[in-house]
Chain A
Amino acid sequence: MGRKVLLQHIDVPGINTFEVYRKQGGYASVEKALKSMTPDEVTEEVKKSGLRGRGGAGFPAGMKWSFLDRKSDKPRYLVCNADESEPGTFKDRYLMERIPHLLVEGMITASYALGAKSSYIYIRGEYMYIVRILEKAIQEAYAAGFLGKNILGSDYSLDLYVHPGAGAYICGEETALLESLEGKRGNPRLKPPFPAVAGLYASPTVVNNVETIAAVGPIVMMGGDEYAKIGIGKSAGTKLISASGHINKPGVYEIEMGISVEEFLYSDEYCGGIWKGRKLKAVVAGGSSVPILPADLILKTAKGEQRLMSYESLSDGGFASGTMLGSGGFIAMDETACIVRNLWTFTRFYHHESCGQCSPCREGTGWMEKVLHRIEHGHGHSGDIDLLVDVAKKIEGNTICPLGDAAAWPVASAIRHFREEFEYHVKYPEKVKNPKHFEVEPFVSERLVAAV
């Protein structure tokens, strides 16, 4: 069994209640921080831990905290990004549903480090039932003196609130989230200024993902140096992976970073192999935005080294032959999956979720969806594949926020690695008119056939 930091007590009956959570050592980080550490010392431990943002960007959390404008006379805010919406990602939901106090504890300890007096958990509106779970956990924490005025008799006071969104992927982008929290449309802001200087209500703000904040308690308890020893190199610690698609055991797994992709995919401790005894065709390893990789490249790098579940190893080879850890949304596809159809659903998603501010994204995602729809439905033209590449290229890097890149990368990578499959769709329109075409007759690469 790999080492667990976040989900260690997940199976303890009643762990969703304050009482049981407390008995398992919960809220000790709040006691330790408030009674024996200065806020800067807490930040220092997080810096030393090497913890990186778990929402997808992987930016060092301690460094993000250190950017917070502490000289400003405005109030400071900590906002938790629980707007989990990246297709393939459901780890935060699992964590909040099963062990809500881990997030509440992290919010208190992190708020203390940042000097926030009011903190918010912004959660996607569809997770409304989890709003109730979190609110109950927060009430319990207030009742036990871990929230409110003069926490544990100290001079530190904090109020914590849950704020639901209302269905908009873009609000996972931190400045769109802040707009939304201010009661506006979720249009991302131009940066700079960064939230650390002018965030919520133009005040200094840190926005962190659920999993990032949940790790703060354990880091304070074990010490940053100890946490940094878990994992591999700059991929310190454990990571929650949301595993979905054509595998035997979909679910959320906490892994110590550095295990091999092969172990994660095939061992019974994790995904348990590909379902129905089929073969693996492709994997989207870090949520829908990251480049898709064919089976051979997800298991081994282009250099022939074993691919590991870590930020560095997954991105080995750049976009030519690598991908990204992203949010840890691991989507596996078996040999019957149609890469074009899967991509069409992703692109439809980005078109639907584009906020519409920037023309390249607003228009480009729509064009890509339209072109993919016709290729997939047997109406593709011979120039369509290059057209897709061209549109994707013109979106990438030309938008205010990363949604444009997130929409472009899946298209570019699918064509990079599976161009033949797109060509097959254009060449044999009659064969792909059945939506289940590759289940009926799996696609066999003409190149591979020739090689055999």
Chain B
Amino acid sequence: MEDSKTIQFSADALTVAQNIIKRYPEGKQKSALLPLLHLAQAEFGGWLSPEVMDYVASLLAIKPIEVYEVASFYTMYNLQPVGNCLIEVCRTGPCWLRGADDIVEHIEKKLGIKDGETTADGMFTLKTVECLGSCGTAPMLQCGADYYENLTPEKVDTMLDKLRASGKRSNYLTSNKQEI
């Protein structure tokens, strides 16, 4: 278990965090909570451990419970570790009409995992999600900051291979878009 005292933003991330806090009126720094949790998740391995959440609470001078209750409400915060690349496939109506189920099935077969699982090598986590606002370019998925749209099984294969080769951890703040 990491000691919460060892958890600290890098100097660069701390500057970003301070600039985010400045967007809100004095005394309303709690408003920065959602953006800071995004930053923390990107900085600390793709998920929010209790220690990381406590650290964010200390930055905003709020109680840890105020962070936990928010982190557990919003789906983009991972409260458990995830694979290097979190693959989120939309499957709500409009995507389903254009074959989202086939895409999910293809990824499950290709990676040998089911919805919600992570590959043994820790490379990919597959998650089905609800509408990502990309219905006109369905089927689609999101990996970190990037949308992959108008998918076919072939495009998915190319994407997975390239993501594996890039070796980068996906996060919502930084694009790692692969040509497919």
Contacts and interface: CB of A to CB of B under 8 A. Distances in A.
Interface residues of A, number: 58
Given A128-B172, A128-B173, A246-B97, A345 B31 contact: no
A88 to B, nearest CB: 5
A242 B135 contact: yes
Contacts of B34: 125, 163-166, 180, 183
Nearest to B134: A90
Contacts of B66: 183-184
B31 A181 contact: yes
A246 B23 CA distance: 43
A166 B136 CA distance: 22
Contacts, number: 148
Nearest to B100: A345
B28 interface: yes
A327 B142 CA distance: 23
B23 A163 contact: yes
B25 interface: yes
Interface stretch (B71-79, B110-118, B157-165): B71-79
A49 interface: no
Interface residues of B, number: 45
A352 interface: yes
Contacts of B32: 183
A-side interface mostly: mixed
B131 interface: yes
Contacts of A346: 92-93
A435 B38 contact: no
B93 A345 contact: yes
Contacts of B133: 84-85, 89-90, 92-93, 124, 126-127
Given A244-B135, A349-B131, A166 B77 contact: yes
Given A166-B77, A353-B130, A329 B23 contact: no
Interface in B21-78: 23, 25, 28, 30-35, 37-38, 60, 62, 66, 69-70, 73-77
Given A126-B132, A183-B70, 9 more contacts: A87-B94, A88-B93, A90-B133, A126-B133, A128-B145, A183-B30, A245-B97, A331-B135, A353-B130
Interface of B: 23, 25, 28, 30-35, 37-38, 60, 62, 66, 69-70, 73-77, 91-94, 96-98, 101, 130-138, 142, 145-147, 172-173, 175
The 9 closest A-B pairs by CB, nearest first: A166-B74, A183-B33, A167-B75, A244-B135, A183-B30, A167-B76, A250-B136, A87-B131, A185-B73
